[in-house]
Structure 1
């Protein structure tokens, strides 16, 4: 991995580049991520770099999508870059060399801390960073697709979350029948509308895809998003709702009581950055409705991912005729949305019901309450 990074850096520089002292930074399980010190370089490089390598059996289209995401984000003005800069890459070796964001503080640590003021400031900074990224990338869809086509035409239409969401909605009647919950037409329409936000929507912008707290670092520059796997353009309200859904499980006991206030702080901070380009979001009712629909989808998808696994370890659900695989084996665990704790899922439905009440959406409120009660009965009783 280090040798592959040295080779691609040396090729880029036109002279030998040496790296040393590799430090394992973990990774998602499928990927390897290390930090290495730059010992010798002919260019004015950072003193440390981060190297990310994907396994050889990884779908090459997935690598090309991630590479296109880093290329797109790196081309943005410095003040608008949401995360690390792409330094070099080798598609054959499936290696990315990135700038090092440093150590900083993780969002998960800030959410789990005892100081609600510090946590609130961090959550607001998270929302602002999302908004700045979205505002800076509106209208860039064509540029991103061009980068995708340079690497792989097939990667252009590949969006693992969209595909997983579509399959989960197709299988919803069967899953809900097993729980004894009715899928009413208004809720089914809301789920389909939320799924459409991946390919359509009024607020399209770039998203790294997994903007949960595990992938966020606060350093001297501010909030940085660390992982662009499956990045692409989609409706920005999906990101805001994803953040709201995923941070609850990370809150400390002291901060849980302030959960609703933290949700409001995150959404309002995001809105403050995007309001100039999307003024309709200045209306609380419109904003609340859009975020609620996206939130419904994420809570539903995280529930589907909790269902039994097939022989390949992929989340699944089944109807009378076939088994529908929600996401390829090994991928669900890479997402902040994923959890193996049924208490987290039940809590997400309860929080969704409360959010729907605040948004005056009785259809989603009643549905979320029914699903939460059914899961509490089946999983926690």
Structure 2
């Protein structure tokens, strides 16, 4: 920490002291440091390996747009080091959802959804600027947008089914391939990449986003699906009250319709949301199933309360049963539920703690 603090102080042009570890990941270390004037900044240092270098480029480019998140104060490509403004200790959306105040959790959800929608809408004219920023900070590294992860997931998902001894229903490969290519260029919007509840601060000044490591442009439906599923690729997954879930999705949609007026058409919106649900259900299955088959386990090592992997998978698969426009995928989740989940001794996914007393 001392080495990172010294390097960040030199980059910022003033000494830093008293580093506090805010927790990071295998890719990065995140510190809060005091400045010589009595304020504080947040320092993020990335390790020297390929995915961490791309994460640095995404964070630096995404923050440089200045559309959301903390102000980027300094960046150094060679050291893979960022210094940014400190947003303080406001609660995250995860804190609110796992808490006991339903009104605060409801306000936080609506603020989160509306804020993400505004971000996506306002970002549309700045895609070329983001691409230039990526090249500046990435120095030739391929961006996350250049990685065809949805198409890669198709082959991986078919392989996983075979690994589990399951025969893919006829037409599944073609259906998944079509789903993954439908909306990205027609309705693009900027996303920090990881809009899970613990990366969203609910501050007195509104929503502030954290973690831009996977920043880029993607279909707005892929972000909107986080409102409906909810939180498509996250650990903080419980059920939302039906009425609130609709309002949260509506808050996001109302903002992106400003940029994409045709998304006000219900049939078009529903079709896009169904495609995004398929994409994220495939993705979560790939990330969770191999670990869930031998034994169950919590979605997060330290946070409580959290669901288990089997609870989340069964919820994802059950929710996808109604995707009538994707019959091969609906048949696939029926197969997964019957052949794999039928014997799982895990309770149904509960509601978020903040709303349990209110239904």
TM-score after normalising by structure 2 = 0.81
- The aligned length equals 326
| Alignment partner of 2:56 out of 44, 63, 69 | 63
Distance 2:150 2:253 in 1: 25
1:218–1:190: structure 2 CA closer, same or farther, 3 Å change rule?
farther
The equivalent of 2:270 in structure 1 is 288
CA apart distance, 1:108: 0.9
Distance 2:312 2:149 in 1: 20
Shift of 1:343: 2.0
Q: Secondary structure at the match of 1:346?
A: helix
Tell me, in whole angstroms, the C-alpha distance in 2 between the residues paired with 1:153 and 1:18.
29
Write the deviation string for residues 287-317 of structure 1: whole angstroms up to 9, x where unpaired: 12111211211111111122448xxxxxxxx
Q: Which one of the candidate residues 120, 123, 128 is aligned to 2:114?
A: 128
Distance of 2:182 and 2:22 partners within structure 1: 33
Q: Which runs of 5+ in 1 are unaligned?
A: 11-16, 41-45, 75-80, 310-332, 334-338
Residue 189 (structure 2) pairs with residue 196 (structure 1): no
1:6 to 6, 9, 14: 9
2:225 paired residue number = 241
Residues 190 and 264 of structure 1: CA distance in aligned 2, closer, same or farther (over 3 Å)? farther
Query: Aligned partners of 1:176 and 1:163: how far apart in 2?
Result: 21
In structure 1, the partner of 2:334 is: 369
Distance 1:244 1:218, change over 3 A: same
2:251 & 2:191 partners in 1: Cα distance?
17
How many angstroms apart in 2 are the aligned matches of 1:197 and 1:33?
37
Check 1:285–1:365 CA distance in 2 against 1; reply closer, same or farther (3 A cut): farther
Q: Is the deviation greater in 146-155 or in 188-197?
A: 188-197
User: Which region of structure 1 is more displaced relative to structure 2, 114-123 or 205-214?
Assistant: 114-123
1:52 is aligned to 44
Contact 2:224 2:253 in 1 (8 A): no
TM-score by length of 1: 0.76
Report the 3-state secondary structure (helix = DSSP H, G, I; strand = E; otherwise coil) of the residue aligned with 2:181: helix
- Between 1:83-92 and 1:342-351, the stretch displaced more is 342-351
Give the drift of 1:142. Answer: 1.1
Q: Give the superposed CA RMSD.
A: 2.9
Measure how far apart 1:242 and its partner are. 3.4
SS of match in other structure, 1:126: helix
1:7-42 Cα offsets, whole Å, 9 max, x none, are 1011xxxxxx122221211113321111111124xx
2:154 to 160, 169, 174: 169
CA contact (8 A) 2:189 2:217 kept: yes
Cα distance in 2 for partners of 1:379, 1:58 equals 38
- What does the per-residue CA deviation read over 1:169-194, in whole Å, with 9 as the maximum and x for residues that have no partner? 01333322435353342x54443234
Name the residue aligned to 2:86.
100
Structure 2 counterpart of 1:152, from 122, 127, 138: 138
- Match among 199, 202, 208 for residue 192 of structure 2: 208
Paired residues of 1:65 and 1:156 also in contact (CA < 8 A): no
Task: Kindly report which structure 2 residues correspond to 1:1-381, keeping only aligned pairs within 5 A, or say none.
Answer: 1-10=4-13, 17-40=14-37, 47-59=39-51, 60-72=53-65, 74=66, 81-159=67-145, 162-177=147-162, 178-180=164-166, 182-185=168-171, 187-196=172-181, 200-247=184-231, 250=236, 256=239, 258-308=240-290, 341-354=309-322, 356=323, 364-377=329-342, 380=345
| Structure 1 pair 266–374 and aligned structure 2 pair: CA distance change class (3 A) | farther
- Residue in structure 2 matched with residue 324 of structure 1 by the alignment: none
Please report how far the alpha carbon of residue 87 of structure 1 lies from its aligned counterpart in structure 2 after TM superposition.
Answer: 0.5
Q: Using a 3 Å threshold, how does the CA distance of structure 1 residues 284 and 368 change in structure 2: closer, same or farther?
A: farther
- Aligned partners of 1:212, 1:194: CA distance in 2, in Å? 23
Contact conserved, 1:124 with 1:269, CA < 8 A, in 2?
yes
Counterpart of 1:323 in structure 2 is none
